[in-house]
Amino acid sequence: MLDVELTGSSLEENGTAELESITEVELTVAVKNDNYKTVAKPVVTAKGK
């Protein structure tokens, strides 16, 4: 489980009036090797109802 907290000011800055208007969330993860070189950048997308 990943809990993401959004502040009201960040929503306002992006023109979002209500949380209910958010229909999709994307999370990008950087996978790095022992030398800190990025070897993959998978994107996880979650869509609402």
- pLDDT single digits (tens) 5-46: 777 777 888 888 787 888 888 889 999 999 999 999 999 898
Domain annotation covers residue 47: yes
| Tokens of residue 15, six digits | 């023109």
CB-based contact 26:44 (threshold 8 Å): yes
Domain annotation covers residue 46: yes
Domain annotation covers residue 31: yes
Domain annotation covers residue 1: no
Domain annotation covers residue 26: yes
* Cα–Cα distance, 24 to 45 (Å, whole number): 7
Domain that residue 33 falls in: 22-49
Considering its fold, how many domains does the chain have in total?
1
Domain annotation covers residue 45: yes
Domain annotation covers residue 39: yes
**Please, is 39 exposed, middle or buried when counting C-beta atoms within 10 Å of its C-beta (0-12, 13-18, 19+)?**
exposed
C-alpha closest to that of 48 among 25, 15, 14, 16: 25
For the whole model, what pTM was predicted? Answer: 0.51
